[in-house]
Structure 1
Amino acid sequence: MTTAQSRQQTVPGAFTAFARFTLLGGTVGLASSFTVAALATHIPWGAANAVVTVVSTLLATDLHARFSFGAGEHATWRQHAQSAGSAAAAFALTCAAVFVLHQLVATPGAMLEQTVYLAASAFAGLARFAVLRLVVFARGSRPQATAAGRAAWPVQATAADMAAPSVPAMLCRAA
């Protein structure tokens, strides 16, 4: 039986969590792009994208719960709902960025459009990491009983522990 204190020791630091978040989210995102393309040969693209988005968000959330943020367990329905909300916000941010670009530039080139999209995706990925780490998969503030029966308060992370490392924008895609 694990205690609250031993479970706190398994929580990865910010850098490790961010590396796992990027690796797992990027892998799911890459697999999703191929899956949408394959599925779109059988059903309309919009339907394929919707199905793959839902499935990939559920998969990524579960992977993040188990590996990125050290829970070691499947994500709860509450965590899935919160993660879906952060994924929807990231999607809205990237759509808004491209929409604003099209309002400002009559016919943006593919390079400019891709640059704006990737910049928005990088920002959304960093924000999503912060939301998942600090809200969705944060350890509760209520004390939990240890094996000895005493209440143990979870270790609170410092701002330095939670600071996202500097990484290239291409690696910060939302999962």
Structure 2
Amino acid sequence: MDTARKPDRAAPGALTAFARFALCGGGVGIASSFAVTALAGLIPWALANALVTVVSTLLATELHARFTFGAGGRATWRQHTQSAGSAAAGYAVTCLAMLALRLLVAEPGAVLEQAVYLSASALTGAARFAVLRLVVFAQTRSRTVGARAARPLPATVARASSPADPAALCRAA
């Protein structure tokens, strides 16, 4: 399950990757909310949430590997594991934010609850983007740069210089 890059695809810049991250993550998040609601009619809500969280994290990691961070192929097991860890950390932070709200405000209104939850989600989303870009998918980008640098010379360049003239070979490279 190794990530295979296509040689003609360059890794996107930070802003493009962040826009793709928000699009993929947001799309998966919206689909997940509908899935949890549908499943919660059949099984307990906590179990539905756990199942949807696992599936949505796997799906989002694949989307991030193929689209968001320009890996151009499937995510590796290492990337899935690291992504799951960052998702679990984000889940814990949002839970702690809601717990803190309940400790500080006896009966918070729906608007305050949403503001706290969405703020915590936005902060953890930005942190998760950084972790995925700088840690989880960073090796894919560095491996690609190294592979590009080690590419052999095109046949036309190699034919244009004679083996007897090493200086011509250096100039062609």
Give the secondary structure class of the aligned counterpart of 1:139. Answer: helix
- Which residue is equivalent to 1:101? 101
Give the secondary structure class of the aligned counterpart of 2:139. Answer: coil
Deviations 1:71-104 (A, max 9, x none): 0011000000000000000000101111111111
Deviations 1:33-59 (A, max 9, x none): 101111111111111111111000000
Opposite residue 49 of structure 1, the aligned amino acid is N
- Which residue is equivalent to 2:139? 139
1:86, 1:76 → 2: CA distance? 15
- Which residue is equivalent to 1:154? none
Deviations 1:107-163 (A, max 9, x none): 1111111101110000000000000000000036574462228xxxxxxxxxxxxxx
- Which residue is equivalent to 2:55? 55
Aligned residues: 144
Give the secondary structure class of the aligned counterpart of 1:11. Answer: coil
1:117, 1:107 → 2: CA distance? 15
List gaps (5 residues or longer) in structure 1.
150-175
- Which residue is equivalent to 2:128? 128
When normalised by structure 1's length, the TM-score is 0.77
Opposite residue 137 of structure 1, the aligned amino acid is F
Question: Between Structure 1 and Structure 2, which shows a larger proportion of helix residues?
Answer: 2
Bigger Cα Rg? 2
- Which residue is equivalent to 2:152? 148
1:1-175, aligned counterparts within 5 Å? 6=7, 10-139=10-139, 143-144=146-147, 146-148=150-152
2:31, 2:88 → 1: CA distance? 19
List gaps (5 residues or longer) in structure 2.
154-173
1:107, 1:148 → 2: CA distance? 67
User: Which structure is higher in RCO with an 8 Å CA cutoff and minimum separation 6?
Assistant: 1
1:54, 1:123 → 2: CA distance? 21
1:147, 1:105 → 2: CA distance? 61
